[in-house]
Structure 1
Amino acid sequence: MIAASNRGLPPSSAGSVAAYLTYWLENVAVHHLRENTHTRYTACVHRYLVPGLGKKKLAKLTAKDVRTWLNQLRTICQCCARGIDARRDQPRCCAAGRCCRKLLSPPTLTYIHSVLKSALEHAVCEEEIPRNVARNVRTGTPRPRRFEPLTADEARQFLAATGGHRLHALFELALHTGLRKGELLGLRWEDLNLDAGTAAIRRTLQRTNAGGLTTLPIKTRASERRIALPARCLQSLKLHREQQQREREAAGTAWQDSGHVFTTVQGGPIDPTNLTRAFITLLRKAGLRRIRFHDLRHSTATLLLEQGVELVVIKELLGHAHIGVTATVYAHVRLRLQRNAIDTLSTALSSGGITETASSDGDEPPPCTVLVR
């Protein structure tokens, strides 16, 4: 105890990692995280952190302990570790005598590590421990998730398929502005200025375990933004408003006045899952490959980059906190544009020479032809 006191550790740090993680989830994280994020954190703690590190003393946890645990977690089949296969009607992994090697992906490992770092960082702030040992462990940077954005031809084909759909204005707005699913469903008519052609992105619609469909403020300040709307979207929104008015009259007293731009036939908010189902149906109708709804956002950014729009403009439109996020996510597009630019230069130089025809005022050397190899 004297040695621990000399190291600056308070007496309360003698508890286990599991006890502190439980305290952190119930008294700290619950007040600083959104409900869905807190649910994911809780699942991560009970599924991975407590079984792996829960019995260790918080004050005696070292970077070596964290690294050893992460290395084991990286090689353990999750069917075996969590008993998933034993609960199946027909076992096909460990219970059947053959391991399927269902390993955690690098992004999942990075996420688990980040949850541990967040918890230990708060322990440092409360002077439970002198330093965050998880920060001394590197999990490596996972490769960004690959996505397959729509090409210009595919985008036109998709918009043609949505022509008669009651949510045509939503899909057109998604493909022209790159708004997220929750941002589209959270739009209210008060957020739109159809005369000025702008939209204020202030809120998002999410489904939570406690409140069901809930409208929440935008997560970050960078995401709260005002964007310009193209003339095509303005026309679609005006037609959509007229259609919504006809649906209101048809519903009568059953109409739910939620104020949202995109609603159900009864006026209530649209469940994000139902929107995904409608999106997949339209992809099938258009004869396109199956992609995620979020890939419409990637399609917007990719098409803008290919049209030569500056990265900072795309960053403001998408609501990224830093331009580095935009540059990292769409690095493959920028590389393709660089290759096209280099090929253009190579074509210009492959003619055998470039003739300089600039006029001279006497101070410069006379123009000449220079052979470029």
Structure 2
Amino acid sequence: MTTARPASSRRSRTRANGDGTIYQRKDGRWEAAGYVLAPGNTRKRVRVYGTTRNDAMTKLTEKIAASNRGLPVATADSTVSAYLMYWLDGVAVHHLRENTHTRYGAAIRLHLNPGLGGKKLARLTTRDVRTFLDGLRTTCQCCAQERDTDRRRCCAIGQCCEKRLSPLTVTYVHAVLKSALEHAVREDELPRNVARNVKTTTPRPRRFQPLTAAEARQLLQAADDDRLHALYELALRTGLRKGELLGLHWEDLDLHGGTATIHRSLQRTRSQGLTVLHTKTLASERRIALPTECINSLKIHQEQQQEEHQTAGTSWTHNGLVFTTPKGRPLDPGNLTRRFRRLLHGAELRTIRFHDLRHSTATLLLEQGVGLVVIKELLGHAHIGVTAGVYAHVRLRLQRQAIDTLGNALNPTDTLDDPPTAAVVR
């Protein structure tokens, strides 16, 4: 006689309506299936797979949760455009900074959707991606996006301006597509990432013109009477980014101990305006030593800010920022750029970007023989390869100096005796 299972056991195996089903396949993998919202305001049954029951169940739960929030969950038979919309607003938005998310959206709207958006995700091939990227390199974007609606301008009157994308922008668009398809692979929507199989030419590094030591001294001398003199001192002597300088709080500084803790950055975002965010990367969070000149400039700046506070009275904005407007409000990064250009013009120096002050710091340090590891920690680079790659031209110059020094030692001289050997090289 067969013993009936307890009712509680049967109930524990019963899943609620809408939760989907889950079972183990013959190949050992677990498969979960359920209905989700698909593009076109329809519902579609999707299947996900995992090595364990919990893995498969987690994937299905994420899809159902996104569907309940009204986000269409793209499937392999949906279009590339639909999947990119799902990935951008349902996945990438949770781990990207707002400005990065905006740039991703622009790449999708302006380039990926017009070029690949109508294709089925499951039928997208490596050749499709390669042909699309080749088209970006060779096609005038005014013609492709019909920007010239004014009949007096180039493309509208049949005289193409040949405005093509730079290699760096093409590489960026390719990177956005690779990230989206990589997520489709992780969700078992695609067997492989076809965009990863396309090799693009490495764009040439952006050329920058850092200040020489003489130009840096000239800039600091011109900034002596500027109310932001301490900011320029910090930028040149420590290599801090513009956002890190503007997001610096007084509580981050230890003027007695001569250190600064960098863990915030001021950025302008579309939704919140000027806002203080975390630094660019985890490696950007660092503690740096402050030069004596910077400590003295910051003490003078602190006294000056206290005087401005008294002058502003009740209109002063209390936010704890080191560098503010005369009424205590955060400094806009765009206004700082324009102010910096006027300073360069007044000092009769060539026009450079504000970010080139950071490059100037690293270049001058390298030329003084400071090691790459120290410069990496000071600048907050994630990997030393970034530091070595950006400043390769400086390292070549130092190599030339080293080779010339060795050449002078090997060239024949009037001295017959060799200098004493300091140590044995093994």
Confirm or deny that 1:98 pairs with 2:184: no
RMSD: 1.8
Larger Rg: 2
The 10-residue stretch of structure 1 (58-67 or 346-355) with the greater mean CA deviation from structure 2: 346-355
Confirm or deny that 1:41 pairs with 2:104: yes
SS of residue paired to 1:85:
coil
Partner amino acid, structure 2, of 1:274: N
SS of residue paired to 2:408:
helix
**Unpaired stretches in structure 1, ≥5 consecutive residues:** 1-7, 365-373
Partner amino acid, structure 1, of 2:133: L
Partner amino acid, structure 2, of 1:130: P
SS of residue paired to 2:327:
coil
1:241 to 297, 302, 313: 302
Residue of structure 2 equivalent to 1:256? 317
Confirm or deny that 1:228 pairs with 2:289: yes
Partner Cα separation in structure 2 for residue 108 and residue 22 of structure 1:
20
Pairs within 5 Å for 1:261-340: 261-340=322-401
Pairs within 5 Å for 1:1-373: 12-86=75-149, 88=150, 90-91=152-153, 93-352=154-413, 355-356=417-418, 358=420
Report the CA distance shift for 1:265/1:354 in structure 2 as closer, same or farther (over 3 A).
Answer: farther
SS of residue paired to 1:268:
coil
Q: Contact between 2:151 and 2:157, CA under 8 Å: does it hold in 1?
A: no
CA deviations 1:343-371 (Å, max 9, x no partner) are: 12222222348733548xxxx9xxxxxxx
More helix by share: 1
SS of residue paired to 2:91:
helix
**Paired positions, count:** 352
Partner Cα separation in structure 2 for residue 199 and residue 158 of structure 1:
23
CA deviations 1:75-119 (Å, max 9, x no partner) are: 001111112222x4730x211222221111111010000000000
Report the CA distance shift for 1:346/1:31 in structure 2 as closer, same or farther (over 3 A).
Answer: same
Partner amino acid, structure 2, of 1:248: H
CA deviations 1:195-227 (Å, max 9, x no partner) are: 000000010000001000000011311100000
- Cα deviation for residue 340 of structure 1 reads 1.2
Identity, % of aligned pairs?
A: 67
Partner Cα separation in structure 2 for residue 52 and residue 115 of structure 1:
14
What TM-score results when the alignment is normalised by the length of structure 2? Answer: 0.80
Higher relative contact order (CA 8 A, sep 6+): 1
Residue of structure 1 equivalent to 2:52? none
**Unpaired stretches in structure 2, ≥5 consecutive residues:** 1-30, 32-45, 49-74
Q: Contact between 2:258 and 2:289, CA under 8 Å: does it hold in 1?
A: yes
Partner Cα separation in structure 1 for residue 405 and residue 186 of structure 2:
56
CA deviations 1:133-180 (Å, max 9, x no partner) are: 111001121111000000000000000110000000000100000000
Partner Cα separation in structure 1 for residue 86 and residue 216 of structure 2:
49
The 10-residue stretch of structure 1 (65-74 or 289-298) with the greater mean CA deviation from structure 2: 65-74
Partner Cα separation in structure 2 for residue 171 and residue 206 of structure 1:
19
Partner Cα separation in structure 1 for residue 147 and residue 362 of structure 2:
40
